Amino acid sequence: MLGTALVFSLTARGHAGDWQLTDLLVPVAMLAVFPFFEWIVHVFVLHWRPRTLGPIRLDSRLARDHRRHHVDPRAIPLIFIPWPALLWILPVAVAVALLAFPRPGLGLTFLSFLTALGLGYEWCHYLIHTDYKPKTRVYRAIWRNHRQHHYKNEHYWFTVTTAGTADRVLRTAPDPATVTTSPTSRNLHATMPAR
């Protein structure tokens, strides 16, 4: 779905023309913001603790699937953004692209780069959870950062596509040697037995 969205947005961007300097600035700004966006979504959406409001239980599909992902981090279907979520995420992204920018070409630049970031996120996340061994220093740092989140302590290291950029700024990238291994990293929000 992301690949199709990328092809359509790039094709539409090419047809729109009207290239300006801001078409370079949007991707630069998005690259700067993306680690923080990733962190916010991971902390507040994916690690959402289910709540009850009267007779209604508030627990999104994304949060439920993410808890399942923590239980079994190597299960391939749980690594990717659930396709039902993409059924609303992609139309919202198109609406933002068409309504929030001063000209259609700039909105399509945003949409093209957003879908490319999404594909990059999915590929990076997939490789982290497979047997692939990082070959570069940069990717090894990214790989280690996310694996620490899953296997060391779920309260830290929330970024996936950077080596803790937002985690460092937002103070969720401590020295792993100073962090105790969490008994709930594989079972988010589990109640710990009294000692």
Question: Length of the chain in residues, anyone?
Answer: 195
Residue 193 reports pLDDT greater than 80: no
- What pLDDT, on a 0 to 100 scale, did the predictor assign at position 189? 75
In a domain, 44, yes or no: yes
Domain count, the chain: 1
pTM: 0.88
Does residue 194 belong to any structural domain of this protein?
no
In this predicted model, what pLDDT tens digit does every residue of 143-182 receive, in sequence order? 999 999 999 999 999 999 988 789 999 999 999 999 999 9
How many other C-beta atoms can be found within 10 angstroms of the C-beta atom of residue 190? Answer: 12
What pLDDT does 32 receive? 95
Residue 142 lies in a domain: yes
**161, part of any domain:** yes
- Domain for residue 188, yes or no? no
Buried b (16+ CB within 10 A) or exposed e, 90-125: beebbeebeeebeebbbbbbbbbbbbbbbeebbebb
pLDDT band at 188 (very low <50, low <70, confident <90, very high): confident
What would the pLDDT profile of 40-93 be if each residue is shown by its tens digit?
A: 999 999 999 999 999 999 999 999 999 999 999 999 999 999 999 999 999 999
The pLDDT value recorded for residue 158 is: 94
Domain that holds residue 35: 2-50+58-178
The answer to whether position 128 is within a domain reads yes
147 neighbors 131 (Cβ within 8 angstroms) = no
First to last CA, the chain: 48
The verdict on residue 187 lying in a domain is: no
Give the pLDDT of residue 144.
92
> Is residue 190 a part of any domain in this protein?
no
